[in-house]
Structure 1
Amino acid sequence: MTDSSASDSLGTLAILWHGDHLALLDQRLLPDDEIWLTYNDAQGVADAIRDMVVRGAPAIGITAAYGVVLAAQRAGRDADWKMAVGDAIDRLAASRPTAVNLFWALERMRTRLQTCASAADAVASLTGEAEAIHAEDVAANRLMGQHALGIMPDSPFAVLTHCNTGALATGGYGTALGVVRSLWRAGRLTRVYADETRPWLQGSRLTAWELQQEGIPVTLNADSAAAQILRRGEVRWVIVGADRITANGDVANKIGTYSLAVLARHHGVKFMVVAPSSTVDMALQSGADIPIEERDGSEVRAVRGVSVAPDGVSVYNPVFDVTPADLIDAIVTEKGVIERPSLEAMRAVF
């Protein structure tokens, strides 16, 4: 998107393309500071993805696509421009291992690159492809919101969500939070309970802030309070996003999602996964095949630079976990709703 940092219809945007550079809202600093960082080359974009300036599977894919355009703009000065752009694509692909949207977007850019006859042609063609990826994501998010309403109660109810899946994590509108926006505008939402989402606190720093910006009622809770909230009966659906969905309907998402699915099943609460079709990886048979990223233990030993644990204590810090398909009531993509996902149900759609 190129016009403004916020939109009444799409939520607060975090990715702005300016033709010769990319601007990213630094999500590490929200909600205290709204700082935009500027990138002019693919390596800087790869670093931004790795360092979590930008996060959320769809947003990562969009950002990487624009990184390829920046590589093409710089490579035009070289005789071996096509190889230089290909190398940049490889560097971008190495930035995060779990979110399949990254590899999906880069494969689209690589395929488009192969059709280009000159460096000038590559810049124009790759720019068009990146902008298309961005626009398609926004359109898909809106459509997913419409699809989800079709299987949810008409009478107002509360939902619980995990991590951030809104405009900040996508090209605009959001996946799981896109459904929340659709529910709110339809008069069918009473409140959103937002897990704080340790250790990066995306729920407290991003989701709560994003919903407050739009006046949607939100209550922040510690991750460990989710069971007590579900037990009270106010929440009818747990709605989350995904970083990768396998052929049998298993879902990789932010660490803590699996435990939420277990809690939801115990309390009779429905569990919904909302993600664009670019998140579906039919090449992987099950969640056991998904590479799970682990990050440095310092992210758990400290909160925003303040130590909360003994120095040097051993830490297990997986970024994602895998929720089995049999704990999921519905997977929603722009292609429609898959209820009770299974290998057969996934194959019928994908």
Structure 2
Amino acid sequence: MAAPSDPTPADPWLRALKGRGAASNPLGRFETIRRHAEDDGWQHAVLDEEQPRPQTMVTEERARSVITRNDSPDIGFDQAMNPYRGCEHGCIYCFARPSHSYLNLSPGLDFETKLRAKSNFAEVLRAELARPGYVPKPINIGSNTDVYQPIEKHRQLTRAALEVLAECRHPFTIVTKNALIERDLDLLAPMARNGLVQVFISINSLDNQLAAKLEPRASAPHRRIKAVRTLAEAGVPVGVLVAPIIPALNDRDMEAVLDQAAAAGANSAGYTVLRLPHELKVLFREWLALHAPQRAEHVMSLVQQMNGGRDYDSNFATRMRGQGVFADLLRRRFEVACRRHGFGRAWELTLDTSHFVPPRESSPQGQLF
């Protein structure tokens, strides 16, 4: 019998967990100890009982640096920062899940329940922006995990970082799928008037039932559309990212998402296809077996067609868009819809770096000049 650490669709103990994307905790790729489970005949009795739901646990972390540099040719920004490790949204498709393996935690349930919060995030950001010779370039906030995930409501690390950026007049972009971003309009709107900010709302389906399984703790699709409208009405440039597109699962909604986003005031759009690096291959196949067993084989067949016959191809030239007939069809559909709405391409907006003022060091005596 297969071990829980290496789940397969046949595993009898796997059950969908309400409010969670993953159903298991497969070992990370750096683990040296492997565990093997044996069925002693009591497993079925345990399955019949109500299983406890995993609770979210947050660990404080002291960051030594927060701005990372990117040189990937298929990503539209050079700098990024993330105040949290792990993400409570629990999106089963999240390409960041494998990064939890670096913490000796599982990319499965651990990724969405055992979170790290960089408690000194704003303090370190201020120090990095104040370094002599720092050259301002737009910083993307939320390139790995969502900066407006539920714990942000109380931790407010993203809010604190935005306050530093506003003080320094530093340009930035945000990617999120949570309407909590509306809380920070008092910071975003004034910066938008100076060409310092662009927001992207990620919406890959308008089907609430599907979204509740794919991304269980993110804002509902209609709520994200409302956030697009709120941002646009406040003068904040906002785009929509139809990401990721999963063939035979949510690709049918592409045009509808773009239609509603345009009606709400979005001015740009982008898309990516499903990416399954490292342990994510196992987790997504497990999710399909639990939530879409009748179409699981078809979905994975199309995914492999877009990845040269494999579950995932990391080639920079194709990993975001895929390859082959189905990928070409997605591209053409997207381009037609964008032309219809007059959308610009995501990440094309040029943000203004000329306003940047390095932050002053904190002093108990205050500033005289």
Same fold (TM over 0.5): no
User: Which protein has the larger Cα radius of gyration, Structure 1 or Structure 2?
Assistant: 2
Q: Which has the higher strand share?
A: 1
The two structures have a TM-score, normalised by structure 1, of 0.32
Higher relative contact order (CA 8 A, sep 6+): 2
